[in-house]
A and B are shown apart, each in its own frame.
Chain A
């Protein structure tokens, strides 16, 4: 069963089948079954994975023989957590849409996007990576623009063109790299071994970095993000924030660091300043938000700012922290966006001034909300703590002052998140709401997230030991 291609095939096949399912009831169960099959199929890979630095379960075929392009996939310690995160979150996202009446085409797009995301996380060839990168963008564009709200057409066109422009710059860099070296190839190994001159690495850095920074998004390339997150359907926001932005961070680790180390060295201060500005700026804006969804969107900018800073810090702790924090952030934003969706569905509003006192009426939600929130804030014994701790350690090793300012994220995060909780769940009860507590699929989704929030908080080594050897190896591999 160690055929990695199966993991790509299952979502593609399920996407094709789901295209033809008109009945909403059948479609959601079919999509759930397919996504559960997918996570089931991922388990053997986790069991068979040996946590050393090697790339495992490799598969490669010649794709375009005359251009020397390979279809090459494989998993190492850095990609495995993200593959598992993707396959783990998709069933939750599908399950969270059970209350809606989406037809097969919605779930088909979700499945297709899953395939694209997996391709990005598994790719060991630049061409394969780029194909996955774009293949993930098309479905999410349709999901957000078809089922979104607000000024969905304009907002999503901006999102699409912005990110597409970034990826074109990456394509320019890839085409450039393809033409270097003796044999034309986009294999990861070949590209890393290129040893480009320093001046070349500097612009290669920007071409890749812009593509990734727009996707993540890092301040000041974040302008598409709040609108897109806010007006996307709940499942779309979860896909965007939970999984898709990890593509960018993963790209930084997998492609940017080893290919353009001199570029990173030359500009890490600039990037670090951008990340730190992003952390504080987004946190302050999040504090002023009345719209809960927008609040979490801005909080996401702050969190990924810290993650990117950890990557750029170029220390083992920073990179390890980035990997575990990607998993943590994926879990917590999916939980938070789902809770916001539940609140909006029950009360008809996600505006903080309309909410309040819901804890009495929805005790189960209140309890789970609190745990997930604590995870997002980074309280010890929840998953967020270890991630933020490692990231700040990496930042500290890089430069004390960045760590000091970046560390504000812990305080500011607690401030805006607790304000969110307080305004939504506590305070005087709004009598006009007649709301029922969460049940059925809602409990299931949140319970899984709560479980992993606590599990990874207590035993973060579950993720860290997978990636440790690969991260060390990556840092050793980078040559000057």
Chain B
């Protein structure tokens, strides 16, 4: 709870700093605040978790681990923001404050124990993002993205609320614990409840962006400023998954015969749609958007085959994915700053101009593709293992085919960096603008973590008990 209060105060504090034009202090204050929030999160680790405030929130290890992940990833993204925001808007303080508020919402979604908190958390997280996506007021794409995101977000919230209502109508409660009792003890679960589950499923699938509810993702990810995209595709996505998983693992496991086939269909569609569309992209940013859809499909595996391994595997997968995404988007910012474009061609010859940047991006791409010795492989191994534990081989072979397809577009950027030479306007540049120190730190930390977790994943897995 300390973390959420800290973040709320931090957000307001940042607004005041902006009011008094102390723009230089924004980043350090935000980082210190995140550090304090992280400290609060970790200090609660060994306490016995019980639902707080009349069963509104629960800070169990599950919530705490994902909260810590969200906070760390936000800190990495904020570190990249030092000069980035100044270039696109004069309202820098609002940026920081909105990101912090969105993070607060994410933490609530991680820890909810009552549908009211799930709804409030998702809304806090999303409303801040609607503004952030459209913050480049004069940019047409940014405005379009914000409007799309807002409409789709409102739409999915509607689904979510309908679902909550129906479930409430059947069971008479918002509380996850009471819902579980209802599902296990009621002689016949009311048809209303099933309707509610389906609507909740739709709403949550919208939020995590899996097919066929994914149509907003590419446009919104493409139109938003790159840093906001990276925030959306990591922190927001992870938090939505955590909420998704918590609902199904706490309350709905006994009904799995009902929702598993639905979710299974969604997973298979998502994998193929995400991968097939990513293959066709010529823009790196759009490719990342579609790849995030297919990764959402892999993460859904953990919910489809819900069990004791779901939480560790989704945690490892999410960590690997978040680290790789931060590297990818950081590299994209640097490349775009020089070439002005986010097409694959602007990566041509990057290995000669900026060997370390190219190396870090290669590690990120290999991790996303799930090659051994990177964190992404461990995540993939655990996911595959989950599926194998309770499902047939066919599903796994489908996943394997998709993984092989994904290699093509992840290697595309590696091919551009290493094997193609820059042409046209950039051919003359033999060196790139040196990356600012904060980029070097973030890229270095994320790349090293990707390798370390790939070689020694026990660092994360001990959190969940061996």
Residues of A that sit less than 8 Å from B by CB: 63-67, 127, 130-131, 133-135, 138, 142, 145-146, 152-153, 157, 160-161, 164-165, 168-169, 171-172, 175-176, 178-179, 203
A134 to B411, CA, bound (A): 15
Chain A residues in 8 Å Cβ range of B458: 63-66
B residues 106-138 touching A (CB-CB < 8 Å):
none
Take A131-B373, A153-B420, A161-B407 as given contacts and tell me if A138 and B461 are in contact as well, using a CB distance cutoff of 8 Å. Answer: no
Chain B residues in 8 Å Cβ range of A152: 419
Chain B residues in 8 Å Cβ range of A169: 397, 400
Q: Which 8 residue pairs spanning A and B have beta carbons closest together?
A: A165-B404, A66-B466, A168-B400, A66-B461, A131-B372, A134-B372, A175-B384, A65-B466
B404 with A168: CB separation less than 8 A = yes
- 29 chain-A/chain-B pairs, Cβ below 8 angstroms: A64-B378, A64-B458, A65-B458, A65-B461, A66-B458, A66-B464, A66-B465, A67-B385, A131-B372, A131-B373, A138-B371, A142-B418, A160-B411, A165-B401, A165-B404, A168-B400, A168-B403, A169-B400, A171-B381, A171-B400, A172-B396, A175-B384, A175-B385, A176-B388, A176-B393, A176-B396, A178-B388, A179-B388, A179-B389
- The 8 A CB mask of B363-400 against A (1 = contact, 0 = none) is 00010000111000110011011001100010011001
Shortest Cβ distance from residue B385 to the other chain A in the assembled complex, whole angstroms: 5
A168 to B415, CA, bound (A): 21
Asked whether any CB of chain A lies closer than 8 Å to the CB of B444, the reply is: no
A172 with B384: CB separation less than 8 A = yes
- The 8 A CB mask of B401-415 against A (1 = contact, 0 = none) is 101100110010001
A66 with B462: CB separation less than 8 A = yes
Residue on A nearest B383 in the bound complex, by CB: A175
A63 to B453, CA, bound (A): 12
- The 8 A CB mask of B449-464 against A (1 = contact, 0 = none) is 0000000111001101
B384 with A153: CB separation less than 8 A = no
Chain A residues in 8 Å Cβ range of B404: 161, 164-165, 168
A172 with B400: CB separation less than 8 A = yes
- Contact partner, B419, options A64, A65, A135, A153, Cβ 8 Å: A153
A170 to B366, CA, bound (A): 19
A197 to B403, CA, bound (A): 29
Chain A residues in 8 Å Cβ range of B396: 172, 175-176
B372 with A135: CB separation less than 8 A = yes
Shortest Cβ distance from residue B430 to the other chain A in the assembled complex, whole angstroms: 15
Chain A residues in 8 Å Cβ range of B33: none
Asked whether any CB of chain A lies closer than 8 Å to the CB of B312, the reply is: yes
- Contact partner, B384, options A135, A160, A171, Cβ 8 Å: A171
A164 with B407: CB separation less than 8 A = yes
A157 to B408, CA, bound (A): 7
Chain A residues in 8 Å Cβ range of B372: 130-131, 133-135
B457 with A64: CB separation less than 8 A = yes
Shortest Cβ distance from residue A355 to the other chain B in the assembled complex, whole angstroms: 30
- Contact partner, A146, options B312, B385, B418, B461, Cβ 8 Å: B418
- Contact partner, A175, options B366, B381, B418, B466, Cβ 8 Å: B381
Chain B residues in 8 Å Cβ range of A66: 312, 458, 461-462, 464-466
A171 to B466, CA, bound (A): 23
B385 with A157: CB separation less than 8 A = no
Shortest Cβ distance from residue A149 to the other chain B in the assembled complex, whole angstroms: 12
B385 with A145: CB separation less than 8 A = no
Chain B residues in 8 Å Cβ range of A179: 385, 388-389
- Contact partner, A67, options B373, B397, B461, Cβ 8 Å: B461
Additional 11 contacts, C-beta under 8 A, given A131-B372, A172-B397, A176-B388: A66-B312, A66-B465, A67-B382, A67-B385, A134-B371, A134-B377, A146-B419, A152-B419, A161-B408, A175-B381, A178-B388
A127 to B456, CA, bound (A): 13
A397 to B388, CA, bound (A): 40
Chain A residues in 8 Å Cβ range of B397: 169, 172
- The 8 A CB mask of B234-265 against A (1 = contact, 0 = none) is 00000000000000000000000000000000
Residue on B nearest A179 in the bound complex, by CB: B388
B residues 409-440 touching A (CB-CB < 8 Å):
411, 415, 418-420
Chain A residues in 8 Å Cβ range of B384: 171-172, 175
Residue on A nearest B384 in the bound complex, by CB: A175
Shortest Cβ distance from residue A109 to the other chain B in the assembled complex, whole angstroms: 12
A216 to B229, CA, bound (A): 43
Shortest Cβ distance from residue A456 to the other chain B in the assembled complex, whole angstroms: 34
Chain A residues in 8 Å Cβ range of B420: 153
Take A66-B466, A146-B418, A168-B403 as given contacts and tell me if A157 and B411 are in contact as well, using a CB distance cutoff of 8 Å. Answer: yes
- Contact partner, A138, options B366, B382, B465, Cβ 8 Å: B366
Shortest Cβ distance from residue A131 to the other chain B in the assembled complex, whole angstroms: 4
Chain B residues in 8 Å Cβ range of A157: 408, 411, 415
A172 to B380, CA, bound (A): 11
Chain B residues in 8 Å Cβ range of A134: 371-373, 377
Shortest Cβ distance from residue A152 to the other chain B in the assembled complex, whole angstroms: 7
Chain A residues in 8 Å Cβ range of B457: 64
A135 with B373: CB separation less than 8 A = yes
Residue on A nearest B465 in the bound complex, by CB: A66
A160 to B405, CA, bound (A): 11
A65 to B462, CA, bound (A): 8
A175 to B411, CA, bound (A): 25
Residue on B nearest A203 in the bound complex, by CB: B393
Chain A residues in 8 Å Cβ range of B371: 134, 138
A168 to B393, CA, bound (A): 13
Residue on B nearest A166 in the bound complex, by CB: B404
A178 to B456, CA, bound (A): 19
Chain B residues in 8 Å Cβ range of A153: 415, 419-420
Shortest Cβ distance from residue B435 to the other chain A in the assembled complex, whole angstroms: 19
B393 with A172: CB separation less than 8 A = yes
A67 to B389, CA, bound (A): 13
A130 to B458, CA, bound (A): 18
Chain A residues in 8 Å Cβ range of B411: 157, 160-161
A207 to B120, CA, bound (A): 48
Chain A residues in 8 Å Cβ range of B312: 66
A67 to B383, CA, bound (A): 12
A67 to B384, CA, bound (A): 13
